[in-house]
Structure 1
Amino acid sequence: MTTATATNDSRAGTPAQADAGRPSALVMPGRAPVAPGWVFPALDRLTGARTARVAAIDTLAPGTVRLRIERPSGYSFTAGQFALLRVATPSGPDLRPLSLAGSPESELLEFATRVGASAFKQTVFGLERGDEVKVSRPMGGLRYDPGRPAVLIAGGTGITPLRSLLLSNAALSSPAPMQLLFSNRHWQWIPFRDELAEQERARENLHITWVQTSPVGTSRGANIHHGRITPELLRSRLEQLPDAVFYVGGSAAMTAEITGILRGLGVARGRIRSARQGRR
């Protein structure tokens, strides 16, 4: 679960544009929904779930899709939060917690997820513009501090809550330096890669290090680190920004590992804020 982040313009385009780059269907066995159907009316009341329509769905990278839905009236969230997204699968209603990946000021709500075999994933993969989904009230958060330097550390789709942070008005208006360490297996698999690169070019206080864990199909460049995120890499960021707050997005194993390294380097627990991912 993510418990907390293309172009800067997150509005949907025309129907033809919304379908551009749309993933083709996968035929894979689904799994049963998370609960029987009678549970969901009570869950709706508990979580403040509201109906919304799909505005667009497109491919971010091989195996990763972005879903944009119309923002319900009065829906407000802060960068780094997540919501429960519910869809109607062939086996019944199913839901997952997904990070709100877009700007808190955008007219659309954005999510990104890896393609998978579950009934939920297959249904999300097959959504079309105009289809209905349900979205809960926002939950969690990363407590972004715009007055402090920031080191953002993400793995794969763990970038989603951090992308929301980067696109927030609070971050866009902050002069504090920001560094992003973004780990992916292959260069071609990086979600939001072109958008993030453009953000780095446009913002003087943002620097990105692309971390590639696979030796196959790697790219070369001054800001590309080959291998894993190591204590030495984190120590160098701490030396550059000794007062930074560290924001971590990724799997439970990754966030635990990074947190352990940072604590070993003497970073106080209050300066480490994580958004863990789990089953989708």
Structure 2
Amino acid sequence: MNSLVPVLHPSQVTTIDVTQLHHDSHTRSVAVKTIHDACQKRGFFQVKNHGVSKKVTENALGSLSKFFDLPMDQKTIFLSNDVKKPVRLETFRVDNVSRVSRELIKLYAYPIEDWIGSWPHNPTDFTENLGKYAIEVRRLSLEIMGAIMESLGLPPTYLRSSLEKGMHMIVGNKYPQCSPSSNILGLASHTDHTIITILLESISGLEIMDSNDNNAWKSVPATGGTLKVLIGNHLEVLSNGLIVQKCVPQGDFKPSNE
């Protein structure tokens, strides 16, 4: 986390209890309204009691960490600049042009049976652990999208068939350790070219542009047991600008796998 950026107070981070979406119509409507407000004002919210177990998330992070710790010569087979590659490893290092430092792997994840065979098999538990995580997060994302559609005054099943056929990608990031004075970025300012992004953090790193405070950058604290839901560019377009993307991971990072 960038130590120079103010941190949002936990009370400023909207938390949705996903089980409320399964309750009576009044309880669900309150949760949906809360989601709507968070999407409009912040461009993100976090969810708890989401059904993705602690074991699944910890195992997924553990397998990613072991993969990133492999010697580079065992990972070069996945290095590519082709954005259409179903498995793609990229590395960014600080130089005279860029202040960004990170390593990431992108995995096509749906239909999972079409792609999981091409995922890394070292470490040996990579496909099993990331596969379980991908299945659980996809289920959650469809449920959340139903609530978001409802928050826009549409049936929760609106676009469901299209979303069920849509792309799902897992992206794992490793940010090398850096000192607070180094001015090194984990990610530069950007928006996600997605409908939604579900973010699993091992350490705080997310920053948002706070429209309630003259568009100042604010760090978002990590909260154990939660997942963050970030609004992507495509959802902003689908909603005709009613909900907007304001989330940008940025700044100085300690060692982290996401």
Q: Which has the higher helix share?
A: 2
Q: Which has the higher strand share?
A: 1
TM-score (norm 2): 0.25
TM-score (norm 1): 0.23
Tell me which of the two structures has the higher relative contact order, counting C-alpha pairs closer than 8 angstroms and 6 or more residues apart. Answer: 2
